Amino acid sequence: MRHDPDAVMLFAAGFGTRMRHLTKSQPKPLVKVGGRALIDHTLDLARAIAPGRVVANLHYLPEQLEDHLAETEVTTTVEAPEILETGGGLRAALPLLGEGPVFTANTDAIWKGPNPFELLKQAWRPEEMDALLLCVPQHATVGHKGQGDFVIDKTGRLSRGPGHVYGGIQIMKTEKLHGVAEKAFSLNILWNQMFEEGRLFGLSYPGKWCDVGSPEGIDLAEALLEQTDV
């Protein structure tokens, strides 16, 4: 089994309800920022590390995303009849992703700065990590409300608390997925197990990040893309 990630899972199955009217007739990953679909921004970043496989899970209006990705290297898998959440969706996609650790990435954020996939790849230490999450200091987030999700200690280990926001991209080993009884479940279940075992790590992102979770976030993300001083 390989120990370094060579596959990327793009989470694209959500309903995008906070986008209101923008997702009544299209899935959220197709909402445009800077003239391009959100999922294309994330896919460009993933391509920079030349992964062996890229998989996207779909659920809401899947035909539109299938058409959009038809001419790309992305393999799609449709969750039906119910959505499987992040953990269930990743587990269902494992036959397409292959063995070993994988990158997972949300498709609703804009990054300004170093490539997040490359930073994680360089920092990955499989002998001591079961997951490595890219986290953004609260002051470097754009349009984000709240105090953050995690604290990163001096060793890089994560614990729950204010300070850093999970940016939606990580490297994760997948073996623990098979121990969850539920069909649909969040990856938070695995993170909690990894934390208890001292194998949940985080990396602080040195650039800026915008979560495009609402229509207002589009303008903020486009302004971030235009900045030249990051």
* pLDDT tens per residue across all 230 residues of the chain: 578 999 999 999 999 988 889 999 999 999 999 999 999 999 999 999 999 999 999 999 999 999 999 999 999 999 999 999 999 999 999 999 999 999 999 999 999 999 999 999 999 999 999 999 999 999 999 988 888 999 999 999 999 999 999 999 999 999 999 999 999 999 999 999 999 999 999 999 999 999 998 999 999 999 999 998 65
For residue 83, give Cα distances in angstroms to 15, 23, 184, 199, 224.
10, 17, 7, 28, 32
Question: pTM to 2 decimals?
Answer: 0.96
According to the model, what pLDDT value does residue 1 have?
58
Query: Can you tell me the distance from the alpha carbon of 148 to that of 165, in angstroms, rounded to the nearest whole number?
Result: 4
Query: Can you tell me the distance from the alpha carbon of 165 to that of 147, in angstroms, rounded to the nearest whole number?
Result: 8
Query: Can you tell me the distance from the alpha carbon of 177 to that of 88, in angstroms, rounded to the nearest whole number?
Result: 8
According to the model, what pLDDT value does residue 70 have?
97
User: Nearest CA to 95 among 109, 117, 75, 110?
Assistant: 75
Sequence ranges of the domains in the chain: 7-225
Query: Which CATH fold topology does 7-225 show?
Result: Spore Coat Polysaccharide Biosynthesis Protein SpsA; Chain A (3.90.550)
Query: Can you tell me the distance from the alpha carbon of 193 to that of 201, in angstroms, rounded to the nearest whole number?
Result: 12
Question: Which residue type, as a one-letter code, is found at position 144?
Answer: H
